Chain A
């Protein structure tokens, strides 16, 4: 299903700082980890937004903020035009029904002492209006069938399933409340290569069947490209470039995106000796003390004086047709994908 209509999710200037404190009795705040620092984007019905970035860039904190598992320091999240108020229980409950999550690790995200039926049916305990008591077992069995598991296995425990099957259970749990948005936080990275394709196909089928919108967080750029309509690249708590999948992959304009794309090993040995590789020096700086101006400047080969002084805004730059947060944005196709 093609993305359509008004945004279902509007995120504006979302900020999450985790305080760093010193002292036990007299706690003083000595700083903050700026995990997410001013993130804005829209998501439309049926659309998939891929979020890529290295560990520590704030992708998972972003997921938690969208799930209202963390309270944002500032900024707003609107679902279907309605502001999410994390301080009002009834508002929050309604909102949470509409936005669900699939976790990374299917081995630790399922309670080993609960049967599959209880795991998938647990959301109904809280949102009783979705399924009346007598109806639940049938609903859970339907869900198992939807995700390609045997409905007769409803009384089994998670350890009786393989990794890929467990991820299917996690997906079924996410679908239980018929949400409009599902956040997938690295949904296939814990799975074997031959199983990943099965789960990706399932996610795509469910999207077209139920018109779901996905936020797809992953570090595997080829998987993100396959599934996403738009892609956001994050670095140290900020989106540095966002655009359609073709714009990001074929015409990246931010140096970090270019470096990231060129660092991904291409599963084809032809021409490997001549392939362009931008190897970044060092590690990402600490989000507790990010560099002034542009956060990427400490590892950037294009950095000039202005980069240390003025923070580049995420906006459409000359010569490109998507937003990029670089003073010297310039389209450069690093991958030359065939």
Chain B
């Protein structure tokens, strides 16, 4: 039973796309934080799109704005200090930023859900996991306590927690890291969301457990045709699961491309540098390629291209002109003045 005061009909729920409109589109989004030292521009004009059943990987280092963008989509930024001066986040064609808080909280969890990196701090330590999963059904669907609990057990089964019936009354600390992440996933898929945002879902986990979790996510996605936004800094995970990639640097998208294109031939010096700095078998004993310098300070962004102080191909206009996101083909774009040269390997 949905809250009748909310206009859910303003969100057409039938088709995956409306005309050419993708399921979720972030358009020229800006987010800034007022801090004591000044205004930190965390996101400076990010655009990306996600279709149903698709996996978009957002790749970037800490401070690149990848998580802030996700939090803006979810509507869980603390405002203030955060502010969204510009931009649109369209879900099925409706700009979420124009909705009231009540309308957004209907979408949050039901249509767009999120998994966080650290499951231990994202779960409430004083409630049982069953209670926390069941809460989704009680709050959003108005189910009775008993029915909601039954649903919780069902979900724990679905994310393959062994002996779900016995464990439904356990507390988060009684589970291992991998199992806690499964519980987070159970909560996020409880209401069959159409978009799932996974913010570094396996960074805190061991590789063998990471493989289990990524497999589970892929399977759930196949079953329900969700759109998945995977936020990560791990080039290996991205190569394994993504359909397309958005690389972020200094609060902007620097490269957008289908996964195979980026790994075979990057069109932005930053992406190129990241890929070259991965240790490779044939490079044993040699010095690794390292991107020089440090990521930019959000309070004091470099002029022109944010990457220019670290870029091996820098030219004079990189210092003065902010490069636009140049379209390379229908599915690829790069925010580099010299993307042609970077692609051909003739840059610098």
Chain A interface residues toward B at CB < 8 A = 54-55, 162, 164-165, 192-198, 200-201, 204-205, 219, 221-223, 225-227, 245, 249, 259-260, 262-270, 272, 277, 279-283, 337-338
Contacts and interface: CB of A to CB of B under 8 A. Distances in A.
Contacts of B223: none
A195 B263 CA distance: 20
Contacts of A221: 207
Given A260-B208, A263-B208, 13 more contacts: A162-B294, A193-B233, A193-B235, A200-B288, A222-B278, A265-B214, A267-B235, A267-B275, A267-B278, A269-B259, A269-B263, A283-B176, A283-B209
Question: What's the dominant secondary structure at chain B's contact region?
Answer: helix
Interface of B: 61-62, 162, 176-179, 206-212, 214-215, 233-240, 242, 259-260, 263-264, 273-275, 277-284, 287-292, 294-295, 310
A266 B240 CA distance: 7
B239 A197 contact: no
A204 B279 contact: no
A223 B240 CA distance: 18
B303 to A, nearest CB: 20
Contacts of A281: 212
B287 A219 contact: no
A193 B61 contact: yes
A196 B210 CA distance: 21
Given A197-B277, A225-B279, A283-B179, A267 B209 contact: no
Contacts, number: 119
A219 B236 CA distance: 14
A167 to B, nearest CB: 12
B207 A223 contact: no
Contacts of B242: 269
B273 A194 contact: yes
B274 A194 contact: yes
A270 B265 CA distance: 13
Nearest to A195: B294
B307 to A, nearest CB: 10
A260 B61 CA distance: 25
A194 B62 CA distance: 11
B163 to A, nearest CB: 12
A192 B293 CA distance: 12
Nearest to A193: B233
Q: What are the 10 closest A-B residue pairs judged by CB atoms, nearest first?
A: A265-B236, A226-B279, A197-B290, A54-B206, A263-B211, A197-B277, A197-B288, A192-B61, A267-B235, A194-B291
